Amino acid sequence: MGNVLVVVEQLNGKTGEITFEMLGKGRELASALGGELHALVIGGQADELGIADKVWVMGDGALAHYTSANHKAALVAAISAISPRVTLIGNTSIGMDLAAGASAATGIPLIAYCNALRVEGGQVVGTSQIYGGKVLAEVAPEDGACIVSVLAGAFPASAGRSDKTPVLETLAPPALDNRVRFVRLIEPEAADVDITKAAVVVSVGRGIQSADNIELADGLADALGGVVGASRPVTDAGWLPKSRQVGKSGLRVKPKLYLALGISGAPEHLEGMKDSGLIIAINQDASAPIFDVAHYGVVGDLFEIVPALTEKIKG
Amino acid sequence: MNIIVIVKHVPDLVEELEIAEDGKDLNRDFLKFVVNEFDDQALEQALLLKEKGGGTITAVALDAPEIDQTLFTCLAKGADKAVKIVGDLEGRVTSHAAAHMLADALKAMSHDLILTGVQSAEDLDGQVGPLLATYLGEPHVSVVTGVEARGQMVVVRQEYAGGVTGEFEVDLPAVLGIQAAPQPPRYAPISRVRATMKEKKLVEIQAAAADGAGLNVRQMVRPQVASHAEMIEGNTDTVVERIVGIMAERGLMNG
Amino acid sequence: MPVKGVKQAPIVVEKDSVTVRGIELKGQWNRMFEPRVIDDYDLTHLDRVAALSGGESIEFCYQCGKCVPVCPVDVVGNYGPRKIVRKLQLGVDLTEDADLWLCTTCMNCLRVCPKEVDMIKIMPAVREQAILDGKFVPPELQKTFENIARYGNPQGESPRKRADWAKEAGVPVPIMASVKRPVDVLLYVGSYPSYHPRGKDAARAMARVLTALGVDFAILGHEEKEDGDSVRLAGEKGLYETLADSTIKTLAKYRFNRIVVFGPHEYNAFKNVYPKFAAENGLAWDYAILHYTQFLAERLDQLTPLLKKPIEITTTFHDPCYLGRHNGEYDAPRRLLAAIPGVTLVEMGRSRENGYCCGGGGGGMWLDSFAGGHQKMRLSERRVQEAVEYGASLLSVCCPYEVSRFEDGVKSTGNDGKLIVRDIIEMIDEAMRAE
Ligand SMILES: Cc1cc2nc3c(=O)[nH]c(=O)nc-3n(C[C@H](O)[C@H](O)[C@H](O)COP(=O)(O)OP(=O)(O)OC[C@H]3O[C@@H](n4cnc5c(N)ncnc54)[C@H](O)[C@@H]3O)c2cc1C
Ligand code: SF4
Ligand code: SF4
């Protein structure tokens, strides 16, 4: 059988975007393998999963709060009950707990950090992004089944949504593993911004001109769920605290997205951000060195582009 | 508390990586190696736990080029013992094989806590932490940004997207994948590292035989990298449209 | 008062009365003879500094205060040896105090100190102790140590790319390992000219000028490493020793008549510090060392006719601490400037022996944000202002640390468009480009 199982990721009652990205890809793989698309919900809600042919729901109150030990046990039990050809798990904090653990427990090989997947001659072939994105490795399981941990943003989420009603089936949960116990969820406090941990950094340079204009960057960062960073002149001037300074004598950041607004790209600044996943620079000066490290660049006035961009993202 | 910290050498990404002729691995002839940055965080976390509550720290590594220097640095920073697992360890060792060998070695070493870096640049077949925990039958938590000892358990924080963290109690012994210690890894002065090399010895143990990851690497390629940004042109609306498109493609539009 | 660095117990003789030339002087009438406490401080921290090898002279200080007005850090803050000694007397632990990291080892205090209190030895010794004790080390400095230890350069760049600058020099730049014969000049490039974009401009200019002069030179390429002098002064002595050892051994492989260095810090290392290290470790070190301005100044007869293109500009010259005060060379750079047609040199108030420090020495290069946070403005910014005050439109320098520091200072003091910064070698290269 060539069924594809997508492990639904839910935190705080919300289904993560990664789930829909995997469901869309899973649909495509399932048809290429001549199988069905299944989704597995552990201790949560089976809403919004209409694109799946079948949704397995496992567990009850005891599994409602995510814990690595319980959910891994549940996943291992589900895999042995369902025997999917491909199991897709998000490469998120939760996925990092589950994917490798399930692979070790079941003996099914794991393709990690996957950003492309296809079926070729009946075999699943995945591309794994390793060495900090400097190498792409194309790998296939030695035989049949595999588990895949999928990078966020690798596949479009739109292909994973449908308003159909899937078949629901319940699965008995395994014995609980209470060695890891949930205590509480902590929401981030606005005060303790750590720019090295943020996935999105909206960074401003001297081009922002004054302390009053920082709110432009705040607006954009809020819309993107990111934080505001800065070049040294901005923190020197006291427009932002020192803890926001990116660079040689500040902090080194490696976010998924680094937006450089009105930053020229001095080597001391580049040292702190050049390894970011995606760098987009907006600068009036077409010859600014920031464009040598940015992936995308716009020559233009940040005071025009940033408000429009924020508007657009807010929708 | 007796803590084991797993350290691993990974190719230094500051250097250009080349693909081997058969296209299935890196060309390892000229590679330089550095300690996995997250393992450094794991060691710092261990040192902080030891400073607060006592105990011992043992650094454990699979043999790799230049690994001795790194193990001595762990000792210089405050680890009590350093163990090198030697054996047939040429080329890229898969995470599954590494976890098997580590599990075999660690079974014989009494411990309360095993700390690993949350991931490494080479984890093609998954992270070592959860693999190791499963082979040892111990609980595991990934992406940990805080650990506090409380008797026969630890209270840990696991970080999710958007800065939300979950707090858990974990029974010992356990394996934790450390994302970040509460403070930056400390510096070991070279003179202290050198003195440590004279004073202390590494313990060597033989690696057990281990299976691979069950994956065939068909080929490795280096993605094309541009030396200049792709410029987005047009009026504000066009530019904004395009930027949003690029961010959406990469799943960056949902916080 | 210490004798040979060892503190002596104060000798106080108290007498009720003495008779001088037949006149009896009653002790109680004279303050000098009254018993009083002369040592009421807890001197633990001062003693600890004095006990360090290199720290002894801290005790010589008799608080005259001559050092404070000449200290460049005091100009932008509150600093100087006298103030540091006073803090130590009052019980401040220097290994835990921000002051520890602010001294740039510029040597201006030692120049004027009647007691030879030597901050150039004291500060590195206390820093080393702080690092060994695991005290707070500013993260930017720590990162730099790690980079230098791993890659041999402070930027953390690939050692294999160390000679990449040469590809765009427009002239061949031979590498020692491949020339396979003795050369006249071994050009020791240094990390900033090798990797910093503005440093590379100067390195390329150097290659062109040497070529135009027909100098038989070569570089070490990827075998070259950071010299380690600033690392030593910043307190990481072990790392300095590793670097010195490796550089001495690398150079021993090759034959050349002299070493020409780009940077005053390498100059100081090779001339004053390596010989001692080599002797202590049974290594050979006997080379003629020249700063590039000295090497070129010796060849002015040959160079001057090549400088055809006038550069009509008023410049001022910033004396690098480690070329000037530390090594007494003030004239070579000035002679080069005088040879460039069109250039008018104005001297700043703080020049030559009293030259102001750019802030980069003694590890200051890698403490930019930390130091910036403890000063009203950066030393480089103060210097840029001075250059502008004296009417210069070009600030000429001959230390690879300085171009980046001063160009940044020009921007941050709002002097964009008023002042440009050039290495002297860039000016010479420019003047050679007759149309
Ligand atoms: C030892 C040392 C350490 C240093 N450490 C750091 C560090 O850690 N971090 C750091 O950032 N810097 C550091 N610096 C400073 C660094 O050299 C640069 O001076 C600094 O990064 C420049 O900041 P900037 O790009 O914001 O300013 P500028 O270089 O002045 O650039 C401003 C840019 O904004 C653009 N602009 C202006 N108006 C607009 C507009 N309306 N729309 C769009 N674009 C506009 C301009 O074209 C220009 O490119 C260090 C310097 C030294 C010497
Ligand atoms: S000049 Fe010398 S003796 Fe006088 S206060 Fe300064 S350090 Fe002390
Ligand atoms: S060496 Fe220079 S910076 Fe240091 S105390 Fe003396 S004058 Fe001040």
Residue B211: inside a domain, yes or no?
no
Measured CA to CA, the distance from residue C1 to residue B249 in angstroms comes to 74
Closest partner residue to A267 (CB to CB) among C140, C143, C196 is C196
Residue A176 located in a structural domain: no
C305 and C416 assigned to the same domain: yes
Q: Give the Å distance between the CA of C362 and the centre of ligand 3.
A: 10
Tell me how far the alpha carbon of residue B33 is from its chain's centroid. Answer: 13
Residues C394 and C245 in one domain: no
Check whether residue A225 and residue A132 sit in a common domain: no
Which residue, C235, C264, C297, sits at the end of a domain? C297
Residues A125 and A243 in one domain: no
Task: Specify whether C293 is located in the same domain as C304.
Answer: no
Greatest alpha-carbon pair distance for chain B in Å reads: 67
Domain count, chain B: 1
What CA–CA distance (Å, rounded) separates C61 from B29? 57
Q: Distance between CA A309 and CA C307 in Å, rounded?
A: 53
Same domain, C146 and C275: yes
| Residue C265: HSE in the Cβ half-sphere, 13 Å Cα cutoff | 28
Helix (H) or strand (E) holding B57: strand B56-62
Residues of chain B with pLDDT under 70: 162-163, 254-255
Does residue A166 form part of some domain?
yes
Measure CB to CB from residue B194 to each of C128, C137, C238 and give the nearest one: C238
Which residues, given as ranges, of chain A have pLDDT below 70? 1, 188-192
CA angle B28, B32, B35 (to 5 degrees): 115
Q: CATH code at B7? A: 3.40.50.620
The pLDDT, as a whole number, for residue C260 is 98
Q: What is the ipTM of this complex?
A: 0.89
Q: How many domains does chain A have?
A: 2
Q: In this structure, what CATH number is given to the domain that contains residue C329?
A: 3.40.50.10700
Last residue of a domain, one of A170, A204, A224: A170
Q: What is the pLDDT along chain C (435 residues), one digit of tens a residue?
A: 566 666 666 666 667 778 888 888 776 655 555 555 556 788 899 999 999 999 999 999 999 999 999 999 999 999 999 999 999 999 999 999 999 999 999 999 999 999 999 999 999 999 999 999 999 999 899 999 999 999 999 999 999 999 999 999 999 999 999 999 999 999 999 999 999 999 999 999 999 999 999 999 999 999 999 999 999 999 999 999 999 999 999 999 999 999 999 999 999 999 999 999 999 999 999 999 999 999 999 999 999 999 999 999 999 999 999 999 999 999 999 999 999 999 999 999 999 999 999 999 999 999 998 998 899 999 999 999 999 999 999 999 999 999 999 999 999 999 999 999 999 999 999 999 876
For residue C160, give the CATH number of its domain: 3.40.50
**A226 shares a domain with A107:** no
Range of the domain at C373: 300-432
pLDDT score of A191: 58
In this structure, are A12 and A157 located in the same domain?
yes
Please indicate, yes or no, if residue A220 is contained in any of the structural domains: yes
Do A157 and A64 belong to one domain?
yes
Residue A180 lies in a domain: no
Q: In terms of domains, do C152 and C277 share one?
A: yes
One domain, residues A149 and A231? no
pTM, to two decimals: 0.86
In a domain, B73, yes or no: yes
Q: In this structure, are A111 and A46 located in the same domain?
A: yes
* In a domain? residue B212: no
Give yes or no: residues A38 and A120 share one domain: yes
Q: Are strands A110-120 and A123-130 parallel, antiparallel or unpaired?
A: antiparallel
pLDDT of residue C315: 97
Regarding whether C267 and C222 lie in a shared domain, the answer is yes
Q: Is residue B243 part of a domain?
A: no
- Which chain A residue shows the shortest CA-CA distance from C139? A249
Which alpha helices (DSSP H) does B117-181 contain, by range? Answer: 128-136
Q: Per the domain annotation, does A178 fall within a domain?
A: no
Cβ–Cβ contact C281 with B under 8 A: no
Residues C223 and C168 in one domain: yes
The CB of C61 under 6 Å from ligand 2? The reply is yes
Looking at the fold, whether C304 and C219 belong to one and the same domain comes out as no
Model pLDDT, residue C12 = 63
What domain range is B91 assigned to?
A: 2-206
Is B94 inside any structural domain? yes
Please state whether beta strands B153-159 and B165-171 pair in parallel, antiparallel, or not at all (unpaired). antiparallel
Please check whether residue C115 lies inside any domain of the structure: yes
Domain boundary among C266, C297, C328: C297
Q: Are residues A137 and A213 in the same domain?
A: no
Measured in Å, residue C156 CA sits from the centre of ligand 3 at 28
Confidence at residue B255, expressed as pLDDT on a 0 to 100 scale: 46
Question: Under a CB-based contact definition with an 8 Å cutoff, are residues C209 and C427 in contact?
Answer: no
Interface of B with C (CB under 8 A): 12, 14-16, 34, 184, 186-187, 189-194
> For residue A274, is it within any domain?
yes
**Structural domain containing residue A288:** 195-314
CATH code of the domain containing A217: 3.40.50.1220
Ligand 2 centroid vs C4 CA: distance in angstroms? 18
Indicate whether C100 belongs to any domain. yes
Q: Domain with A81 in it: what CATH number?
A: 3.40.50.620
Choose one of C82, C87, C99, C107 to mutate for the ligand 3 pocket test, by most ligand atoms within 8 angstroms of C-beta: C107
Q: Is residue A76 part of a domain?
A: yes
Which are the contacts of B186, defined by CB distance < 8 A and separation ≥ 6?
Answer: B44, B47, B77, C134
C358 and C277: one domain?
A: no
Is residue A224 assigned to a domain? yes
Q: How many domains does chain C have?
A: 3
